[in-house]
Structure formats: C-alpha cells, structure tokens
C-alpha cells in the first residue's frame, strides 16, 4: 500500500501506461546495498513487479552507474532497457552488446591506466581493502567493508586528487569514487537519451544516491520544456542516504522495499 500523496503523484502514469516511462536506479533502489558490489541482486518479488511493469508501460529502463550488461545480470530480465555507466552506454531490449558513446570509449585505456597505477602505487589503500572496479571507461574505487572505512575515505580522496591532476574527472557516491573521462555525462544525459525522442507524456525516476539527482533534474527539465506533461522524482532512502537526494525528490520511500510497493501500485488492478 502507498499513501494518498504518492497515489496522487503517480496517478497520471497509472492512467496512461502506454504513454509513460519508468526509469529506475539499481543499487539501493531495486536491490539492497550490499557489502560487496558483486553480491548485489534484485529480489524475486521485485523482479515479478518489473515483469508486470514491462508488459504494461511504454518504457521501463534501469539507469545505473554499473555497466549495462552487469545491470541486466543483476536485475535478471531481458525485457527492460539498461543505460549503464551513468549514461555512457545503452543496452537495448534484445541486444547482446551495448552502444557506447564514442567520445567516452576513446578515453577507456587512459582512465584504466591511471586508476590501476594509482592503486598499485598505494600500499596503504590495498592494506585497507580498497578495491578497483573495472567499468570500462569508468574505474571505481570502493571502500565499503574496508578495515577502517574512515581512513580509506581519506586515502581514496588523495588518490582522487592525483587522478584529477592526470586530467580525469571525479564523481563520489556511497563509499565509491569514480574516475571518469573528462567528458560530460551523468544520469541526466541518460534520461534525455531515453526520453528526448520517445514521444511519451509522463515519466518517473527513482534513485537513492547523489548521481540520481541529475536524473531528477533532467526529468523536470523535459517537463518544463513541454516534452513531458508530468514528472515524478522518487527518493529511496535509508540511514546512509545523502540528504540531498530526498531534498531533490518529490517524495521519499523506505529503500528498495518502498520502491517495490510503489511500483506494485502502478500495476495493481
């Protein structure tokens, strides 16, 4: 069950699913945050709701910081679209490989070289358990589960400063620092990529982290420009959620369970 305010917010989407899009972050929104990123999985009850959504709504897509292929593995459904690496690549329904923006792909060797060199050169980072996730043109330093998470945060911040000196861009999330190409992209780019020419009327974007605020902003800009007539920005919150996410959203729900309840209400009889 959802409260009356939430029901009112999503009523235009529920009334016209064939003209509406559902855009969803994965980690912390569809799947619970885990100690190690490799352990993340979308629960089967949520997967069942996503199947129902995909059968009713014009577009259901996952917009994630993970690689698109990895996101599809975690979600476990082929009937959705997946925009990965914060808008740098898109895995369309039925495709086996994602389309990658060429200006981003060109930076992949350099970003990987810098990231691997920084971690290899920091014995303390390795001792603390800082891990490097290879996301192609994005390399992510994780320290959730480090032996001292506060010290690891400081060590990674220092590595990030060196990455900036090497010409890379940084983006911080929940115990993760991404080293990125100096090319403009974020989840707002992903939202525009998905909806700019889709010819739809309404959209919902749900997320839990700072990167999702870019998606909120883009959705509202499409509404304000007249591309959409209705936009809903939903925060999935828990004790670790940055305050900025809830502040930027139209409404908040308690983590992945709250997101699942809202999505279930969209397909309920």
Written as six digits, the tokens of 54 are 């995909």
Q: Kindly report the CATH number assigned to the domain that includes residue 93.
A: 3.40.50.1000
Please give the backbone phi and psi of residue 236, each rounded to the nearest 5 degrees, phi first: -100, 110
Do 112 and 96 lie in a common domain?
no
Written as six digits, the tokens of 225 are 């420009």
27-47: per-residue pLDDT in tens?
999 999 887 767 889 999 999
Q: How many residues does the chain have?
A: 269
Could you give the strand order of the β-sheet that contains 230-237, starting from the edge strand earlier in sequence? Answer: 99-100, 89-91, 81-84, 59-63, 20-24, 202-207, 230-237, 251-254
Give CA–CA dist 126/145, Å, rounded.
13
If you average pLDDT over residues 237-265, what whole number do you get? 96
Domain end marker among 141, 159, 180: 180
If you average pLDDT over residues 68-93, what whole number do you get? 93
52-76: per-residue pLDDT in tens?
999 999 999 999 999 999 999 999 9
Domain end marker among 150, 180, 210: 180
Do 12 and 93 lie in a common domain?
yes
Q: How many folded domains does the chain comprise?
A: 2
Domain end marker among 152, 180, 208: 180
Give CA–CA dist 52/96, Å, rounded.
23
Q: Kindly report the CATH number assigned to the domain that includes residue 156.
A: 3.30.70.1020
Quick one: pLDDT at residue 40? 87
The domain of 232 spans 4-100+185-267
Do 38 and 96 lie in a common domain?
yes
Q: What totals of helices (H) and strands (E) does the chain contain, helices first?
A: 11, 12
Quick one: pLDDT at residue 141? 97
Do 176 and 191 lie in a common domain?
no
Do 81 and 190 lie in a common domain?
yes
Do 160 and 197 lie in a common domain?
no
- Average model confidence (pLDDT) for the chain? 94
Give CA–CA dist 19/99, Å, rounded.
25
Whether 8 has a pLDDT exceeding 90, the answer reads yes
Do 95 and 108 lie in a common domain?
no
Q: What is the model's pTM?
A: 0.81
The alpha carbon dihedral of 134, 135, 136, 140 has a sign of: negative
Do 60 and 164 lie in a common domain?
no
């Amino acid at each position: 069950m959802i409260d009356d305010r939430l029901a009112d917010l999503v009523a235009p989407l529920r009334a016209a699913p064939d003209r509406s899009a559902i855009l969803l972050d994965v980690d912390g929104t569809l799947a619970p945050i885990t100690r190690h990123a490799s352990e993340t999985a979308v629960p089967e009850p949520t997967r069942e709701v996503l199947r129902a959504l995909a059968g009713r709504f014009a577009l259901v897509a996952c917009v994630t910081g993970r690689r698109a292929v990895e996101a599809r593995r975690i979600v476990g459904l082929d009937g959705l679209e997946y925009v990965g690496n914060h808008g740098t690549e898109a895995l369309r329904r039925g495709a086996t490989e994602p389309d990658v923006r060429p200006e981003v792909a060109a930076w992949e060797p350099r970003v990987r070289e810098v990231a691997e060199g920084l971690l290899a050169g920091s014995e303390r980072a390795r001792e603390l358990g800082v891990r490097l996730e290879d996301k192609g043109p994005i390399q992510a330093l994780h320290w959730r589960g480090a032996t001292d998470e506060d010290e690891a945060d400081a060590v990674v911040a220092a590595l990030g400063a060196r990455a900036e000196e090497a010409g890379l861009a940084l983006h911080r999330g929940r115990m993760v620092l991404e080293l990125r190409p100096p090319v403009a992209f974020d989840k707002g780019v992903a939202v525009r990529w998905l909806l700019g020419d889709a010819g739809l009327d309404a959209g919902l974007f749900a997320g839990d982290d700072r990167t999702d605020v870019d998606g909120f902003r883009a959705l509202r800009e499409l509404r304000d420009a007249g591309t959409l007539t209705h936009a809903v920005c939903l925060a999935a919150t828990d004790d670790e959620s940055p305050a900025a996410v809830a502040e930027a959203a139209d409404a908040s729900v308690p983590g992945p369970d709250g997101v699942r309840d809202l999505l279930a209400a969209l397909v309920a009889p």
